[in-house]
Structure 1
Amino acid sequence: MEARSMQPLTKGFSYKRLWAGRILGALPALFLLVDGGMKVFKPPVVVEATVKLGYPESAIVGIGMLLLVCTFLYLIPRTAVLGAVALTGYLGGAVATQVRVSAGGFNILFPVFLGCLVWSGLWLRDRRLEQLLPLSDKGS
């Protein structure tokens, strides 16, 4: 197995692809920022929904802050991969929570869908990630 060199981010990189990645990444980021903000401000509907999922009311602000930190890490280009990994963990917890309370299919699949958007957007806009996780092996 030969080592691949990391190519410069701009060499052969399409601006359409870059903007597609930014848009795909912005969609889940906006949703997650709103979700995290709502948990921090704790309107009654959020408190009620979170308590129904089995979490104590005292944990809601902490969960919201964690989500906001993970999302901000994802939005900063230098820490985007770390943010995507952190969001993957957060969204995995959301899936586990929905499975634990026997929620329907959409509630279980929505965090998976968000995670796919997060990683798809990052893959499209970061050439290093494409080199790490190639979808095809053009070199062989």
Structure 2
Amino acid sequence: MATVMSAPSKPIIWTSRILRGLAAAFLLFDGSFKLFNPAPVAKSFAALGYPAGIALSLGILLLVCTVLAIIPRTAVLGTVLLTGYFGGAIASHVRVGDPLFSLVFPLILGGMLWGGLYLSDQRLRAIFPLREHD
């Protein structure tokens, strides 16, 4: 038996936009910052054991994934790719023993992206219902 899902309300749509927009704004800034490889980026990459030259590649990757996550038609793909990116970031920080915030921040960004997408995408809510329908 098929269930009919109603469209999300305006407050839910705006909550989704705010969550995804804040996360995307940070990621676009971070990706753009990596393209220019200023001293703080080079220093953080060195602390993680990566060559400074990899910042450009990771910046481009982050920007492409973020743009995919922003576009409604490719939002799920972009968010999945960003989840992998965040996993790599967390693994890099765990490897060098960085503080807890370095581990939690990517989780927060991922939660904002997935939470916002869940609120606005009926297909995700159908796949992962938060409650059983009677």
Q: What TM bracket, shorter-length normalisation?
A: over 0.9
Secondary structure at the counterpart of residue 72 of structure 1: helix
Alpha-carbon contact 2:37-2:52 (below 8 Å) kept: no
Superposition CA RMSD, Å: 1.4
Query: TM-score, length-normalised on structure 2?
Result: 0.94
Counterpart AA for 2:123: R
Structure 1 residue 27 and structure 2 residue 22: aligned? yes
Matching residue of 2:116? 121
Alpha-carbon contact 1:6-1:131 (below 8 Å) kept: no
Structure 1 unaligned blocks of 5 or more? none
Structure 1 residue 84 and structure 2 residue 79: aligned? yes
Matching residue of 2:67? 72
Partner Cα separation in structure 2 for residue 105 and residue 76 of structure 1: 31
Structure 2 unaligned blocks of 5 or more? none
Partner Cα separation in structure 2 for residue 127 and residue 112 of structure 1: 23
Secondary structure at the counterpart of residue 81 of structure 1: helix
Alpha-carbon contact 1:19-1:125 (below 8 Å) kept: no
Partner Cα separation in structure 2 for residue 72 and residue 5 of structure 1: 32
Partner Cα separation in structure 1 for residue 103 and residue 124 of structure 2: 27
Counterpart AA for 2:102: N
Deviation of 1:104 after TM superposition, in Å, equals 1.0
Partner Cα separation in structure 2 for residue 131 and residue 32 of structure 1: 28
Alpha-carbon contact 2:19-2:115 (below 8 Å) kept: yes
Q: Percent identity?
A: 46
Partner Cα separation in structure 1 for residue 94 and residue 40 of structure 2: 21
1:40-99 per-position Cα deviation (integer Å, ceiling 9, x unaligned): 111111111112111111111000000000000000000000001000000000110110
- Residues 73-112 of structure 1 aligned to structure 2 (within 5 Å): 73-112=68-107
Counterpart AA for 2:74: T
Count of residue pairs brought into register by the alignment: 134
Select 1:57's aligned residue among 39, 52, 57. 52
Counterpart AA for 1:76: I
Deviation of 1:5 after TM superposition, in Å, equals 5.9
Partner Cα separation in structure 2 for residue 68 and residue 12 of structure 1: 30
